[in-house]
Structure 1
Amino acid sequence: MTDTVVDQTQSAAEGDRSTRAAIATMYRLTTGHRASLTLATVLTLVGSALGLAQPLAAKQVVDASGRGQVLWPLLLLLAGLFVTEAATGAVGRFVLERMGEGIVRGLRHSLVGRLLRLEMREYDRLRSGDLISRVTTDTTLLREVVSQALVDLLTGALVAAGAIVLMAWIDPLLLLLIAATVATAAAIVASLLKGIRAASERMQTSVGAIAADLERALGALPMVRVHRTEDREAGRIGECVESAYSAGVRTAKLASVMSPAVELAVQGSFLIVLVIGGLRVNGHANSLGDLVAFLLYASYLVLPLSSVFRAVGLIQRGMGAYQRIEQALSLPAEPSQETPTVRARTREPARQTVSYEKPALALRDIGFGYDPSRPVLRGLSFTAPHRCQTALVGLSGAGKSTIFALISRFYEPDSGTLLFDGLPATELSRAACRGRIAVVDQNTHVVHGTLWDNITYAAPDATEAEVRRAVELAQLEGVVRRLPGGLSGMLGERGSRLSAGERQRVALARALLARPSILLLDEPTSHLDTLNETALTTVMKDVARECALLVIAHRLSTVQHADRIIVLDEGRAVACGRHEELLTSSPTYRELAAGQMLRPAATPPSPVTTARHPHSPL
């Protein structure tokens, strides 16, 4: 679906590269800001009109001087026109800049809201660094387009038209000669615009790739350092830098050809006015005042024409950034609104006392695959009762983490039904489903901020007593004492001041503080020493008295105290029971358990054990 949307967007972009279509697209971005756009345009036009009046005033000054008339009223008028033009132009520019910032603010809000709600399959396919660059780099370029190019294009064209009309009134012959020179420059500029846009699109894409690759390297910096791959990563990013450089150079090359063309047209126009106009004054075809006025209009024509050429080029560059933003906004996201039926069913549990007659969680004949042609879960069914500790065990690839992803509604099952307290998940909003659960992932997430910020992330209104209780349950008292500032101590980027085990306990405290009805623990003891593992086992028993506890486990010590154990094999539940029962009834579980029973904690595994059990058990 996403590929189709992106392909359609790209096809539309390829077939819609005309300057007129690009201008129309940029104009659509100003929706909601048309009043500011109109005001800025009017102010700019007023200022330009005042500017157009100045050469006429100067003509009167020159002619009055030749006739020996009083000059100071005309000089005051000329000064007044100049000051008023400057003030009007300044106000108009401020309105434009504010409008541009407002448009970019709206785009960034839309992008951030969209990117945070994309379907999880999109994050599997796309790179986060490139998505981030669309919020930052691309919108910044687009701000310059909408805050300058559109008005410059309109006012520049109108002012140029006004100047041309007045020049035609003063001397039509000189105007025709100038028009031929300008037309030549315009033809050159038009031939360069398509190349400028293509180069700009490639440069923006390369800049996005730089951000993505740099985010990739910095996110795994300890691994990069240990394996001494700094040069390799720098080389990978350097290729994107070189691509951006070559695209930027091409843009500069085309722009460097365009600028002299405009400059030659301007200089040629001045030479024509001076030479031909001077000859016509000597021949008494025109007065000296006419020549001065025409020359001023010719010089005044330079700025609007330059702004028109610049605006067209800038719009073509901005279209490259706009296409990337449009692609991001068209990516499929999780629904933000539910149907009336879903809203009604979502409110039911809030009004009623939770019934423990139905299981907190039930999976019925669930089938799912990240790639539909390669299923991960095949007809999986099991239940997780309230106030019960349920463990999921199986070899790597059996589907344990995928089950957690489905329970979290990151993905939807291809077949079967997922139920919360007997209610199908499809009749509940995703927010309602996620409001029932808390997750302690194996890849623990610690955000930049204080220990308090991280623990209260899911419950920002929690009291200090509640936070202290969560800290105690998660065995975080030592971390609180060690950190400068205690609960207010900063944890560093991604929790760099904490060990892996401490980060996991922070995640556990965060989950416990949310008081979920279903707590999902993904290998909760993987980073804990024996002492803390024993303490966590006690905590899990206490938690299981309050909610349904679903644990992915690879350690026998975690599994053997569970109320029920689900044995998974190739996406199916092949056995269910307690530890002692499964040892006698399930060959799969017995094999998994034997792998740890034969493996003393203080000694490395023997070659025989490793050969018999090549996969990590439980």
Structure 2
Amino acid sequence: MTPDAATVTPAGRPRTGPQEVRRVLRGHGRRITVASVLAVAGSALALAQPLLVKRVIEEAGAGIGTGRTIGLLIVFFLAQAAVAGLARYVLVRTGEGIVLGLRLNLIGHLLRLPMRTYDRHRTGDLISRTSADSTALRLLISEGFTDALTGSIGLVGVVALMAWLDWVLFLIVLAVVALGSLVVASVLRGIERSSLHAQQATGAMTAELERALGAIRTVRASRAEHRETERIGEQARSAYAQSVHVGALDAVVSPAIMLTINGSFLLVLLIGGMRVAGHDGSVADLAAFLLYMLYLMSPIGAVFQALSTMRQGLGALRRISEILDLPGEPDTAARPRRALPAPPPDVPVLEFRDVWFGYEPHRPVLRGVSFQVPPRGHVALIGSSGVGKSTVFALAERFYDPDSGRVRFEGRDVAAVGRAEHRARIGLVEQHAPVLYGTLRENLLYAAPDAGRDELDRAIELAQLTELVARLPQGLDTEAGEHGMALSGGERQRIALARSLLVRPSLLLLDEPTAHLDAVNEAALRRSIRSIAQECALLVIAHRSSTIRAADRIVVLDGGRVIATGTHDELLDSSDHYRFLARAQQAGETVAG
């Protein structure tokens, strides 16, 4: 994605700034209309005041009493202040509501993107689009759009009345304003471009910081704090340079506006005064026109400043639109687990039929993989690193869909079942076993928030967590820490196991569940696995020989293909590759012991 690339819709058409703004404002028409009506009313009350001043001057010159007109002027003045304040409040509230809706939409969309999208984008940059970019967008909506709307309404009214009062003086003002507008317009284009670059640099900085903090122990152990500071600082300096450039360009806008307004005011005062002195105009008309000139300063300044603010916000809006335009993962809405007809007892819970898949085109990871997992029992998936074991798990969970072939679950093609409904029947325990920030209870109930106390106790017991809960200072309400760092690796893995068991899955996927366990806990977990295998199917990525031998059936992967299946003893007799893996594993465990 190039820095200057325009946002592109799914249909391939570039999305322009106005199109993006219209999409953001969609659904808020009623509030915007109310605020616009109030703004029009406030502008009308303001525009009537110079005419009342003109009338006061004319009445005083004719010797007529002015008290009634002055009173009406005071009423209009106070009413205009009240209505203008209310209009601005409604506009600001509407703008904040728009930003809130966009943030909620962006958060929900980010959590539902296909896995391939996460593979291509850095997490820190995605977070930046939700935080820093949406904050910049707030200026576009809350301030830029508000000022543009109120300023435009006032500007139209002032221009119409100035042209009606004295079209010659109006043409002079128009010429000066047009000249100033040309200067401002040329600056605004640079502001939008530099603002987009600044937002991109900020996103890159956030991504680099997230990268370093996510591996802070490795950073410290490698004494790489200075290098990481320089690496992140490079992006920070880039964001600084672009932001300073935006500020420099924005600094040109305000003087240009002031020169435009003050220059036109001085010309009107000079030419209008000469005309009055030559008896070619009235003092009342000149006073009213000059008052409108004063009134003109506010809407012109508001419109020009709004355009500058909006140009800065458009860079953020385009970055947000880039994400919103990405297609989300279909059918992931949360829904209750449906009571589907139970499959016949002999139907595999999971079946791969000639499955081909690659993360990149023309580079398959799985090459015609076929195997079955029975509805009960323990199946081990083994092979060297990089042969596709984790990819099998990803396809079973429908994080990806196969390029060809079929994945069937409980006798049904997974493509015919909603993703959320499908995932509700599968438990997943990853090797690194992520633990979220929060209490131990919140982590255990994450996949099944409505689980009862008995179900929770059962899962804790099966996952060998009873002792851990008993010795924690606040039991289940103890904080797990950021990324679960208050817990050991084995404890995090058992928490992930208990979390998966609470949903009572038909299939439980375990990625090397004994990797972080000592011998005592490993033996206890093997007993749990035997118990769990009586209730549901287990598919386990295994490397330890003890875990492999405990399996009822073993599937051997090599080169992205299934090359052998059977029990431990059967494979020792029939598969040279399995014997090689078994000897290598036993040698490794002997050395480790």
Whether TM-score is above 0.5 comes out as: yes
- The match for 1:211 is 206
Give the alignment partner of residue 497 of structure 2, picking from 502, 508, 518.
508
Pairing 1:9–2:3 present: no
Partner of 2:543: 554
Question: Does the alignment pair 1:350 with 2:349?
Answer: no
Question: Is 1:295 the equivalent of 2:284?
Answer: no
Of the three residues 39, 51, 54, the one matched with 1:56 is 51
> How far apart, in 2, do the equivalents of 1:380 and 1:172 lie?
82
Deviates more, 1:546-555 or 1:75-84: 75-84
Distance 2:389 2:17 in 1: 50
Question: Do 2:169 and 2:272's aligned partners in 1 also have CA atoms closer than 8 Å?
Answer: yes
Cα distance in 1 between the residues matched to 2:10 and 2:186 = 22
| Equivalent in the alignment of 1:162 | 157
Q: CA deviation at 1:46?
A: 1.0
1:589 to 546, 559, 578: 578
Distance in 2 of aligned mates of 1:190 and 1:353: 68
The 5 A counterparts of 1:92-171 are 92-171=87-166
Q: Is the 8 A contact 2:543 2:585 kept in 1?
A: no
Partner SS, residue 363 of structure 1: strand
User: Contact between 2:39 and 2:87, CA under 8 Å: does it hold in 1?
Assistant: yes
Other-structure match for 1:454: 443
Amino acid at match of 1:543: I
Deviates further, 524-533 or 85-94: 85-94
- Answer whether contact 2:253 2:305 (CA < 8 A) is retained: no
Distance 1:241 1:192 in 2: 24
Question: How much has 1:351 moved relative to structure 2?
Answer: 4.1
CA contact (8 A) 2:554 2:565 kept: yes
Shift of 1:486: 0.6
Counterpart Cα distance in 2 of 1:429 and 1:169 = 66
The answer for unaligned runs of 5 or more in structure 2 is none
State the Cα distance separating 1:264 from its structure 2 match. Answer: 0.8
Of stretches 205-214 and 538-547 in structure 1, the one that deviates more from structure 2 is: 205-214
Could you tell me whether the CA contact under 8 Å between 2:253 and 2:308 is conserved in 1?
no
- The answer to whether the Cα contact below 8 Å between 1:455 and 1:510 also exists between their aligned partners in 2 is yes
Aligned match for 1:439, one of 414, 428, 438 = 428
Match of 2:176 among 176, 181, 195: 181
Deviation of 1:69 after TM superposition, in Å, equals 4.5
SS at match of 1:382: strand
Alignment counterpart, residue 240 of structure 1, candidates 235, 238, 257: 235
Equivalent position to 1:391, from 369, 376, 380 = 380
C-alpha distance 199-411 of structure 1, shift in aligned 2 (>3 A): same
Q: Distance in 2 between matches of 1:22 and 1:458?
A: 41
Please report how far the alpha carbon of residue 303 of structure 1 lies from its aligned counterpart in structure 2 after TM superposition.
0.8
Shift of 1:67: 5.1
Deviations 1:154-199 (A, max 9, x none): 4433422322332233333333332222221111112212111111
1:564 is matched with which residue: 536, 547, 553? 553
Match of 1:528? 517
Give the 3-state SS of the residue equivalent to 1:350 in structure 2. Answer: coil
Task: Please state how far the C-alpha of 1:284 moved relative to its aligned partner.
Answer: 3.2
Greater Cα offset, 171-180 or 586-595: 171-180
- The corresponding residue for 1:271 is 266
Q: Which amino acid aligns with 1:376?
A: V
* 1:148 positional shift: 4.1
Partner of 2:320, secondary structure, is: helix
Answering whether residue 391 of structure 2 is matched by residue 408 of structure 1, we say no
Question: How far has the Cα of 1:60 moved from its partner?
Answer: 2.9
* Residue identity (%): 50
8 Å CA contact 2:349–2:375 kept in 1: the answer is yes
Q: Structure 1 residues 286, 492: closer, same or farther in 2, change over 3 A?
A: same
What is the DSSP-based 3-state SS (H/G/I as helix, E as strand, rest coil) of the residue aligned with 1:335?
coil
| Deviates most, 546-555 or 373-382 | 373-382
Distance 1:60 1:12 in 2: 60
| Structure 1 letter corresponding to 2:497 | L
In the alignment, structure 1 residue 420 sits paired with structure 2 residue 409: yes
Farther off after superposition, 365-374 or 164-173: 164-173
Deviation at 1:381, TM superposition (A): 1.2
Match of 1:250 in 2: 245
Residue by residue, what CA displacement relative to the aligned partner does 1:272-317 show, whole Å, maximum 9, x if unpaired?
2333333333333333333322221111101111122122223333
1:303-318 matches, within 5 Å, as 303-318=298-313
Q: C-alpha displacement at 1:435, in angstroms?
A: 1.8
- Separation in 2 of the partners of 1:469 and 1:418? 31
8 Å contact kept, 1:23–1:150:
no
User: Structure 1 regions of 5+ residues with no counterpart?
Assistant: 606-618
The 1:600/1:318 distance shift into structure 2, 3 A limit, reads closer
Q: Distance in 2 between matches of 1:381 and 1:289?
A: 93
Pair 239,252 (structure 1): closer, same or farther in 2 beyond 3 Å: same
1:159, 1:435 → 2: CA distance? 57
Q: Does the Cα contact within 8 Å between 1:389 and 1:562 map onto a contact in 2?
A: yes
Alpha-carbon separation, structure 1, partners of 2:547 and 2:456? 26
Query: Distance in 1 between the 2:411 and 2:63 partners?
Result: 101
Secondary structure at 2:248 match in 1: helix
Q: How big is the alpha-carbon RMSD for the aligned residues of Structure 1 and Structure 2?
A: 2.5
Q: Which residue of 2 aligns with 1:484?
A: 473
**C-alpha separation in 2, matches of 1:13 and 1:275:** 56
Report if the CA contact (8 A) 1:436-1:518 is conserved.
yes
2:185 to 187, 190, 195: 190
Q: Residues 322 and 160 (structure 1 numbering): CA distance in 2 closer, same or farther, change over 3 Å?
A: same
AA in 1 matched with 2:388: G
Q: Spell out, residue by residue over 1:315-349, the C-alpha distance to the aligned partner (whole angstroms, 9 max, x if none).
A: 333322222122111213211289xxxx9xx99x8
With the length of structure 1 as denominator, give the TM-score of the two structures: 0.90
Structure 1 position 599, deviation (Å): 4.3
Deviations 1:400-440 (A, max 9, x none): 11111110111111122111122222222222321221011
Say yes or no: does 1:517 pair with 2:517.
no
The CA deviation string for residues 343-386 of structure 1, in whole angstroms up to 9 with x for no partner, is: 9xx99x82423432111111111111112322111111111112
- Rounded Cα–Cα distance in structure 2 between residues aligned with 1:393 and 1:71: 98
The 3-state SS of whatever aligns with 2:385 is coil
Q: Structure 2: how far apart are the matches of 1:458 and 1:154? A: 47
Q: Is contact 1:390–1:562 with CA below 8 Å preserved after alignment? A: yes
User: Partners of 1:510 and 1:543 in 2: how far apart?
Assistant: 14
Could you tell me which of 331, 341, 356 is aligned with 1:367?
A: 356
